[in-house]
Structure 1
Amino acid sequence: MKLRRLWAVVLKELRQLRRDRVTLGMILGIPVMQLVLFGFAINTNVRGLSAGIVDEAGTAGSRAVVMDMIATGVIKPVATADTPQELMTLIRRGEIRVGIHVPADFERRRIDGREALQVMVDGSDPAVQGAAAQLAQMPLDGTGNLRRASPSISVVSFYNPERRSAVSIVPGLVGVILTMTMVLFTGVAIVRERERGNMELLIATPLSRAELMVGKVLPYIAIGLVQTTAVLALGLSLFAVPVRGSMFDVYVAAGLLILANLALGLLISTRAQSQFQAMQMTFFVFLPSILLSGFMFPFDGMPRVVQWIAEVLPLTHFLRIIRGVMLRGASLWELWPDVLALAAFTVVMMTLAISRFRKRLD
């Protein structure tokens, strides 16, 4: 092995990296950004759970106890209701994660040592259940002092009382798998045509840019729905994951995520110069989607700024929809903000992809 020839190859690779600005930027950009972002975002201690409150007692003691629960930082009041049934509706819609119900005979229950408060929990997320259980183990007495005896708090977990992780994980896996495959498939679509020399044939066709882009997307919609069916079938047969809502709504939600990811993949494909670059960009999107969407780590435990970033990711909205439909029995109409977010994301990404694509070789 000649060192001179070896050094020539090394210099050649370094020069190629210098010309490849995308790869050069990712060498330092990916680790720095992800270290800073995930270091602040990933927090297993759930805080600031959105909560609704029904105080039927209306006494000074009940108000003080509720205020002390809020002071722990575990819950954050975002809604009020008149009845426990209204709290259940808010939980089903995903508007709150925890409901605090103070019965009318709160003072009598506290004196008698009976359960004086009820904490209603969205059990579709095990992390929320754990945070609520921890809150119930350290009730406050209404004076700002922690006491473990009075009043007694009961925790009622809905939709997953057994706290089985598979119930929460399997619906999320539908979104994770679709995100990984759909973005990657279309991320290399245009680049592959260019590398294989097929772009000349496409240029010679009378296809418009929009027709070519839409034609690239349509076959993968069917593939994504097949993947969705496979994951749901295995989830039902192996893990007994329930589907409390409409199966039609499940497939509509999956279709919306498929379209969003395909549009994002096409945008990546118009920017990448090689299939390797397209895969790099796909990974750049995929990892934040898993870690920031609420699939692995509780969304409520993230800083507010990170939550704003997560709202841009399609997987964040899909997880809310799929868990709401499958586990809580909600309808798409009740989850319309996230449905609208996915649709808007698809339109924006597809418009950008079509505007960036040019039927030429340079």
Structure 2
Amino acid sequence: MSRMLPIIRKEFIHILRDRRALMIAFLTPVIQMIILGYAATTDVRNVPLAIFDQDRSHQSRALITAFVQSGQFTAHAYVKSEQELAALIDSGQARAGLVVPPEYGRAVTAGRNADILFILDGSDPSVASSALASARLIGASLATGVREEMLARRGATLATMPGAPQVRERVWYNPDMDSAVFMVPGLIGLVLQFQATLLTASAVVRERERGTIEQLIVTPIRPYELMVGKILPYAVVELLVVGEVLLVGTLWFGVPIRGSLLLLVAIACLFLVSTLALGLLISTIARTQFEAFQLSFLTLLPSVFISGFIYPIDAMPAALQLISKVIPLTYFLVVVRGIIIKGVGIEALLPQIMALTAFGVALLTIASLRFRKRLD
């Protein structure tokens, strides 16, 4: 013990002197607990609903109101054709669609069965199963209300009433609602996010700790050239990781790639620029590899929960939904799931491509500006 005490004392002195690392070590768990406490919810609410009302009657409006007032759905858009409705679901802007037939109001008034079509994006089984159960419950509740109203007018019994709204479901993309179809494509973005950021987060810090930063300072290389030079080797490694994950997902889990593989790889390169640049930015802020590691997890873990990898963004508070818009993983998850599960093309992914391009340019520029070719 007498030999250990000096070592323990030295380590305590080292920890107390490094106040930045100590502050990060204490603040990181608190921030993560606060964010994840709100984001980690399995409740499915405010599912974006595309509505194609071909009847536009009092009865159809009452039907739509019943869906919206349930709290499970929000009226995202009113469309004029099934093609427009399908485009919204393909792009991920709507997670479900409600199609009301032209004669819906007359059928309800006449006491005939009135079928409505409820289309569901099954790429996320957790959201799809909850939304499907809610739609069935809303349809059954509305049917009971219509029957009771007609019973009161006609004086008939509830068992003799023939007509009521009937919800007919149709699940797209993942009819069996297999969770692997949803999770495996998302793992591509998750693996890239973790590895790329952690690999580059210690890049500049490692140079400083090993004393090789002086060699970089005396060279005529520009800051952005240094940043790009450090990114490229890791980008090659991560692209190989993308191929590896795709092979495992396809061969092992049986998840087919329905869209263009070339488009997926091209957009993955944009995402890699963002994640690698984020790691370099962290390395220009941190002074030690421990700080770089802590700062990386400060950004990585919350992004997993807020980006929509596990929990639906629509169910989160408005503040967290706003934060999710500045996380590159949020946009790449839409891309990878859209291409692999839905088979969509570049037209449906243009907003995500533009966002990833902006993130990559901005983060790489900030990292280059923060790097100083001088000793701190």
* CA distance, structure 1, for counterparts of residue 310 and residue 215 of structure 2: 44
* Structure 1 position 251 matched with structure 2 position 250: no
* Structure 1 residues without counterparts, runs of 5 or longer: none
Equivalent residue of 2:80, what SS? coil
Which residue of structure 2 lines up, in the alignment, with residue 227 of structure 1? 241
Q: What letter corresponds to residue 330 of structure 1 in structure 2?
A: V
* Equivalent of 1:202 in 216, 224, 244: 216
Q: Kindly indicate whether the alpha-carbon contact (under 8 Å) linking 2:28 and 2:294 is maintained by their aligned counterparts in 1.
A: no
Q: Aligned in 2, Cα 1:59/1:182: closer, same or farther, shift over 3 Å?
A: same
Q: Aligned in 2, Cα 1:27/1:274: closer, same or farther, shift over 3 Å?
A: closer
Q: Aligned in 2, Cα 1:115/1:170: closer, same or farther, shift over 3 Å?
A: farther
1:181-220 correspondence to structure 2 within 5 Å: 181-220=195-234
Which residue of structure 1 lines up, in the alignment, with residue 335 of structure 2? 321
Which residue of structure 1 lines up, in the alignment, with residue 347 of structure 2? 333
Q: Kindly indicate whether the alpha-carbon contact (under 8 Å) linking 2:331 and 2:352 is maintained by their aligned counterparts in 1.
A: yes
* CA distance, structure 2, for counterparts of residue 114 and residue 189 of structure 1: 67
Aligned length: 360
Q: Kindly indicate whether the alpha-carbon contact (under 8 Å) linking 2:95 and 2:120 is maintained by their aligned counterparts in 1.
A: yes
Q: What letter corresponds to residue 49 of structure 2 in structure 1?
A: A
* CA distance, structure 2, for counterparts of residue 132 and residue 57 of structure 1: 23
* CA distance, structure 2, for counterparts of residue 242 and residue 109 of structure 1: 42
Q: Kindly indicate whether the alpha-carbon contact (under 8 Å) linking 2:190 and 2:304 is maintained by their aligned counterparts in 1.
A: yes
* Structure 2 residues without counterparts, runs of 5 or longer: 149-162
CA shift, 1:189, in A, is 0.9
CA shift, 1:107, in A, is 3.9
1:109-258 correspondence to structure 2 within 5 Å: 110=108, 114=113, 116-140=115-139, 150-258=164-272
Q: Kindly indicate whether the alpha-carbon contact (under 8 Å) linking 2:120 and 2:132 is maintained by their aligned counterparts in 1.
A: no
Which residue of structure 2 lines up, in the alignment, with residue 63 of structure 1? 61
Q: Aligned in 2, Cα 1:203/1:94: closer, same or farther, shift over 3 Å?
A: same
Which residue of structure 1 lines up, in the alignment, with residue 44 of structure 2? 46
CA shift, 1:245, in A, is 1.6
* Equivalent of 2:312 in 295, 298, 317: 298
Q: Aligned in 2, Cα 1:13/1:121: closer, same or farther, shift over 3 Å?
A: same
Q: Kindly indicate whether the alpha-carbon contact (under 8 Å) linking 2:47 and 2:131 is maintained by their aligned counterparts in 1.
A: no
Output one character per residue of 1:67-100: Cα deviation in whole Å (capped at 9) or x when no partner: 1111001111121111222211111111211111
Output one character per residue of 1:97-122: Cα deviation in whole Å (capped at 9) or x when no partner: 11111111324655676462111111
* CA distance, structure 2, for counterparts of residue 124 and residue 290 of structure 1: 18
* CA distance, structure 2, for counterparts of residue 220 and residue 301 of structure 1: 35
CA shift, 1:144, in A, is 10
Q: What letter corresponds to residue 82 of structure 1 in structure 2?
A: K
Q: What letter corresponds to residue 131 of structure 1 in structure 2?
A: S
Which residue of structure 1 lines up, in the alignment, with residue 158 of structure 2? none
- Percentage of pairs with the same residue: 40
Give the alignment's TM-score, normalised by structure 2: 0.90
* CA distance, structure 1, for counterparts of residue 113 and residue 341 of structure 2: 31
* Equivalent of 1:287 in 301, 310, 321: 301
Q: Kindly indicate whether the alpha-carbon contact (under 8 Å) linking 1:139 and 1:150 is maintained by their aligned counterparts in 2.
A: no
* CA distance, structure 2, for counterparts of residue 107 and residue 23 of structure 1: 66
* CA distance, structure 2, for counterparts of residue 75 and residue 104 of structure 1: 22
Which residue of structure 2 lines up, in the alignment, with residue 354 of structure 1? 368
Output one character per residue of 1:301-320: Cα deviation in whole Å (capped at 9) or x when no partner: 11111011111111111001
* CA distance, structure 2, for counterparts of residue 275 and residue 31 of structure 1: 18
CA shift, 1:289, in A, is 1.4
Which residue of structure 2 lines up, in the alignment, with residue 268 of structure 1? 282
Q: What letter corresponds to residue 340 of structure 1 in structure 2?
A: M
Q: What letter corresponds to residue 135 of structure 2 in structure 1?
A: A
* CA distance, structure 2, for counterparts of residue 128 and residue 114 of structure 1: 28
Q: What letter corresponds to residue 100 of structure 1 in structure 2?
A: L
Give the alignment's TM-score, normalised by structure 1: 0.93
Q: What letter corresponds to residue 95 of structure 2 in structure 1?
A: R
* CA distance, structure 1, for counterparts of residue 17 and residue 355 of structure 2: 37
CA shift, 1:349, in A, is 1.1
Which residue of structure 2 lines up, in the alignment, with residue 12 of structure 1? 10
Q: Kindly indicate whether the alpha-carbon contact (under 8 Å) linking 1:187 and 1:268 is maintained by their aligned counterparts in 2.
A: yes
Q: Kindly indicate whether the alpha-carbon contact (under 8 Å) linking 1:139 and 1:152 is maintained by their aligned counterparts in 2.
A: no
Q: Kindly indicate whether the alpha-carbon contact (under 8 Å) linking 2:46 and 2:74 is maintained by their aligned counterparts in 1.
A: yes
Output one character per residue of 1:148-186: Cα deviation in whole Å (capped at 9) or x when no partner: 994221221111111111111111000000000100111
Q: Aligned in 2, Cα 1:317/1:146: closer, same or farther, shift over 3 Å?
A: farther
- Which has the larger Rg? 2
CA shift, 1:33, in A, is 1.4
